[in-house]
């Protein structure tokens, strides 16, 4: 068992296919009440399927939410890319459902083909447009991929366009204003710099997205929201509503988890790996995985 653990800890990317089942029972398995993952983008080269597979093996759960962009239908239509590890992820998800985990799939924009199957089951995987999860401590979380909010954010693009054209104008206005200010004995003040700063702040896409999603969850009467889509893991309270973004499995390799007592936590695979390195039973020194 120890050799399996070493293989996982120091060189998990190079795991032989045969080692799979041993690792299943290996050191470091921790059961959660719920696991939320999204933006896996199976079918693309950027997908961190092997890491996700290891994460899922070590973190079984009562509820497993697939919060969209699980399979990248857009990319697959352009170019077929489906290595064994991507197949293994799908099989692992189906196996979780078979083993009694409640698996819910909420399609995203990259796997919107699945939106045609809302209300159906695939091998125990339920497909929902969106859903609500109640935590062990009684909080309700609205679960949605998040791409519907792109429309809201689109308005910001018009603002940006306006901003660019308005900049030339404000430069002129700036000259005029400052000649006035000079005549009144006031110091120089840059209107255009001020506006540029304001517009930039207003155009913070991520913040806009987060605020919009949290506001929608609040208006639906929920305590919080779980989404993905923008590939930016986050957990914070926005105007009294808990905003959780489970991140992605392309770059951040993160998941949102609910502990048995209802506590929510963002888990990063890199942290899981490095905490395994710190295990006293691990005889290998660090430094193999950068
Ligand atoms: Mn998306």
The structure tokens listed for 9 are: 């800890």
Query: Could you tell me the distance, in angstroms and rounded to a whole number, from the CA of residue 241 to the centre of ligand 1?
Result: 22
- C-alpha–C-alpha distance, residues 131 and 226, integer Å: 10
Query: Could you tell me the distance, in angstroms and rounded to a whole number, from the CA of residue 148 to the centre of ligand 1?
Result: 9
- C-alpha–C-alpha distance, residues 83 and 15, integer Å: 15
Cβ atoms of 145 and 228 within 8 Å: the answer is yes
The reported pLDDT for the residue numbered 207 is 85
Domain chopping of the chain, boundaries: 2-145+245-277
Write out the residues surrounding ion ligand 1, Cβ under 5 A.
69, 108-109, 147, 229
Q: Is 164 exposed, middle or buried (0-12, 13-18, 19+ CB in 10 A)?
A: exposed
The reported pLDDT for the residue numbered 120 is 95
Helices (H), 12-83: 20-24, 49-58, 73-78
Is the confidence at residue 24, as pLDDT, over 60?
no
Mean pLDDT across the stretch 98-103?
96
Is the confidence at residue 290, as pLDDT, over 60?
no
Give the pTM: 0.73
- C-alpha–C-alpha distance, residues 221 and 207, integer Å: 21
The reported pLDDT for the residue numbered 205 is 75
Query: Could you tell me the distance, in angstroms and rounded to a whole number, from the CA of residue 68 to the centre of ligand 1?
Result: 7
Angle of CA points 109, 131, 116, to nearest 5°: 45
Query: Could you tell me the distance, in angstroms and rounded to a whole number, from the CA of residue 4 to the centre of ligand 1?
Result: 35
Closest CA to 127 of 101, 152, 111, 106: 106
Q: Which residue has the higher pLDDT, 289 or 278?
A: 278
The reported pLDDT for the residue numbered 11 is 36
Q: Which residue has the higher pLDDT, 6 or 245?
A: 245
The reported pLDDT for the residue numbered 16 is 38
């Amino acid at each position: 068992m120890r050799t399996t653990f070493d293989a996982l800890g120091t060189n998990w990317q190079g795991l032989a296919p045969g080692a799979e089942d041993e690792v299943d029972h290996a050191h470091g398995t921790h059961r959660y009440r719920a696991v939320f993952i999204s933006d896996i983008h199976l079918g693309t080269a950027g997908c961190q399927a092997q890491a996700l597979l290891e994460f899922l093996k070590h973190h079984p759960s009562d509820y497993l939410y697939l919060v969209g962009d699980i399979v990248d239908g857009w990319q697959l239509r352009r170019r077929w890319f489906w290595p064994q590890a991507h197949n293994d992820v799908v099989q692992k998800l189906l196996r979780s459902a078979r083993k009694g985990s409640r698996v819910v799939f909420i399609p995203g924009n990259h796997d919107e083909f699945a939106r045609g199957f809302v209300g159906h089951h695939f091998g125990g995987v339920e497909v929902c447009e969106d859903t609500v999860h109640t935590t062990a401590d009684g909080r309700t979380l609205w679960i949605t991929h998040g791409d519907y909010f792109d429309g809201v954010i689109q308005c910001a693009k018009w603002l940006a366009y306006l901003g660019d054209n308005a900049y030339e104008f404000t430069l002129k206005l700036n000259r005029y204003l400052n000649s006035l200010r000079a005549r009144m004995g006031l110091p120089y003040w840059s209107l255009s710099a001020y506006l540029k700063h304001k517009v930039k702040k207003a155009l913070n896409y991520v913040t806009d997205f987060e605020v919009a999603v949290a506001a929608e969850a609040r208006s639906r009467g929920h305590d919080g929201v779980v989404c993905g889509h923008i590939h930016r893991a986050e957990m914070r309270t926005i105007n009294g509503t808990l905003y959780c973004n489970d991140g992605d499995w392309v770059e951040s390799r993160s998941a949102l988890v609910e502990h048995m007592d209802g506590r929510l936590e963002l888990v990063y695979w890199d942290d899981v790996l490095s905490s395994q390195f710190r295990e006293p039973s691990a005889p290998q020194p660090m430094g193999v995985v950068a």
